[in-house]
Amino acid sequence: MLKILVFLIIVCCSFVVEGKFLKKIERVEGSVNAYAYTENDNDAILHSSILCELYYNNTYSKLGWDVMQVQTNPTIQSDTDQARCAGELEGLVLYEAIYIHYYNNIKQWCKGRQQLCDKVYAFLDEHLAWVNQTIIDKDGWDPEWHHVNVFLNHMIGLQLGYMESQTDPKKALTLTDFIVMNLQVDLDDVAAALEGDISAKIRGDTRCSAIIKMLPNNEDLLIGHNTWTSYNQMYRVLKWYDMPLHTSARSKMLVPGKTISFSGYPGVITSMDDFYLVSSGLIAMETTIGNSNASLWQFVKPTGQIFESVRSLMALRLANNGRSWCETFTGYNSGTYNNQWMIIDLHKFTTGKPQEGLLWVLEQIPGYIRFQDQTALLLQQTYWPSYNVAFYPDVFNMSGNQELVDQYGDWFSYNDTARALIFRRDHSTVKDLDSLMKLLRSNDYKHDPYGQCNCTPPYSAENALAARSDLNPKNGKYPFPALGHRPHGAIDAKVVSPDLARNMSFVAVCGPTTGTNLPPFKWSKSGFKHLPHKGQPNTFTHFQPMLTPWIGPLF
């Protein structure tokens, strides 16, 4: 591992800013502005000398979200330097939040499964060696591989900046740690592939609910998403990256998606949820469909593939419409973090006149990807729901879903699982962003007929658009673990309209829902105090939906 990572630094940092690299941090009323700039006589920060700038506001304890914006300057540095500079400032300023995320989510990742973890790291070793050699072979000409190189430089910058600020040797993080943080969702599936594990859906490891709603007469389009995951992941950051990168190292053409805003995590440069607004006019989001067919894990290999987290970021930057996003994403399918992606092209929407190409839907499983324009079905149904089940019949069958239906029933089906039924019944209640937020935070599992299950008691708080599985009794009886007592649920919700999206803004709320008269989540009474949750409040009661508080261009 060590030899490969040292080599990685040498390869990826082939474009380094000439001269002395200066940094300055200014703190004003809790917010931080950090600059990286070129050397000049009076040590002043001049517009022409700024390499990159970062704005950060540590508002998590008050609002449920920290806020971070980064802007880089392409006129005096290469793309790889832009990425390294952006990463270095984030590591330099957010080092405390980054360690919280690492401690809560990564530090104990290998606990109780060291042998398997060693295999995952060996897989990653082999993968990085192949990636490095391919970057050298492509020599900056290939757009996709250029952006893999940009991704790796961002990792290097994060680790360098973090270690500049982190003075506690017990909290030192390596480049490997940052790569693992950023590939966590992919490496979970690498572990599953190495074990031959097909039980993720049975355990309830899949993530997210999402909906695209067309209002009557096509007068407006509303998009919403919530993240389902373990409660240790609730330290959150709203992020905005403005990075005018080029399509390749050999090109003068800027990428369509130079600015990306999203809900995310400290030290992680993708959303991981995933929910993105892009300056190209695209909105991209997904829900995880997973893989329950053990025979497909043979297609997950350390070479010849690029992890999903990297490919999605690559597509966000390079694509200018839904089809090109899908085409860019499809190459080098890793078969990890297998999702249903929804790509909305706002250029195809004007009030009353939605056009073909408005919605593309892509589904990935190991060894296979399918995508298609689903605008016609969106207009016919007036909504597109997504809830961790494959829509395309071939993907559904190939990924082992039918076997789950045969064994466990309709909960694993596309049309008759609880969330499909709830979306079908309640999508018409959406009139505006407030009602969309209400829908995505809804949970009345004890009284909703679709909350019922063959369980004791006869319902599950998993059966809602915003799960609260912590509310299921520990001594209950459930036909499979996904319906049972777990520190798991919808930890946020984000909603957006075309008007907001064009300004890179959305409305977001953090924390488990209180649904219809549900008690707020409280760590001290949850029974999950053993789960790492540094930085989080004990009780999630005071966070309310908020508009992203962007401050606009930084320079």
Instruction: Check pLDDT > 80 for residue 493.
Output: yes
Q: What is the pLDDT of residue 47?
A: 61
Higher-pLDDT residue of 50 and 385 is 385
- pLDDT tier, 207 (very low <50, low <70, confident <90, very high otherwise): confident
Backbone angles phi and psi of 451, in degrees to 5: -85, -10
Q: How many CA atoms lie within 13 A of 101 on its CB side?
A: 25
Instruction: Check pLDDT > 90 for residue 552.
Output: no
Q: What is the pLDDT of residue 477?
A: 98
Mean pLDDT over 272-282 rounds to 97
In this predicted model, what pLDDT tens digit does every residue of 228-244 receive, in sequence order? 999 999 999 999 999 99
- pLDDT tier, 46 (very low <50, low <70, confident <90, very high otherwise): low
Q: If we measure between CA atoms, which residue out of 13, 296, 12, 6 comes closest to residue 125? A: 6
Cβ(99)–Cβ(167) under 8 Å? no
Q: What is the pLDDT of residue 529?
A: 87
In this predicted model, what pLDDT tens digit does every residue of 377-405 receive, in sequence order? 999 999 999 999 999 999 999 999 999 99
In this predicted model, what pLDDT tens digit does every residue of 307-336 receive, in sequence order? 999 999 999 999 999 999 999 999 999 999
pTM of the prediction?
A: 0.95
Cβ neighbours for 99, distance < 8 A, ≥ 6 positions apart = 166, 171, 173
DSSP one-letter code for 272: S
Q: What is the pLDDT of residue 49?
A: 83
Please state which of the ranges 19-33, 128-142, 460-474 shows the lowest mean pLDDT: 19-33
- pLDDT tier, 37 (very low <50, low <70, confident <90, very high otherwise): confident
- pLDDT tier, 29 (very low <50, low <70, confident <90, very high otherwise): confident
- pLDDT tier, 14 (very low <50, low <70, confident <90, very high otherwise): very low
Q: What is the pLDDT of residue 38?
A: 81
Could you give the 3-state DSSP secondary structure of residue 509? strand
Q: What is the pLDDT of residue 206?
A: 80
In this predicted model, what pLDDT tens digit does every residue of 128-150 receive, in sequence order? 999 999 999 999 999 999 999 99
In this predicted model, what pLDDT tens digit does every residue of 215-228 receive, in sequence order? 999 999 999 999 99
Cβ neighbours for 33, distance < 8 A, ≥ 6 positions apart = 25, 26, 53, 54, 55, 554
Q: What is the pLDDT of residue 392?
A: 98
Mean pLDDT over 512-521 rounds to 97
The H-or-E segment that residue 373 falls in is strand 368-373
Average pLDDT, the chain: 94
- pLDDT tier, 76 (very low <50, low <70, confident <90, very high otherwise): confident
In this predicted model, what pLDDT tens digit does every residue of 184-197 receive, in sequence order? 999 999 999 999 99
Q: What is the pLDDT of residue 331?
A: 97
In this predicted model, what pLDDT tens digit does every residue of 523-538 receive, in sequence order? 999 999 899 999 999 9
In this predicted model, what pLDDT tens digit does every residue of 413-443 receive, in sequence order? 999 999 999 999 999 999 999 999 999 999 9
Backbone angles phi and psi of 541, in degrees to 5: -120, -30
Q: Peptide bond preceding 410: is omega within 30 degrees of 0, i.e. cis?
A: no
Strand arrangement of the beta sheet that strand 507-510 belongs to = 383-386, 209-214, 221-226, 492-496, 507-510, 546-547
Strand arrangement of the beta sheet that strand 31-38 belongs to = 21-28, 31-38, 50-57, 66-72, 237-242, 259-264, 275-278, 282-288, 339-345, 359-365, 368-373
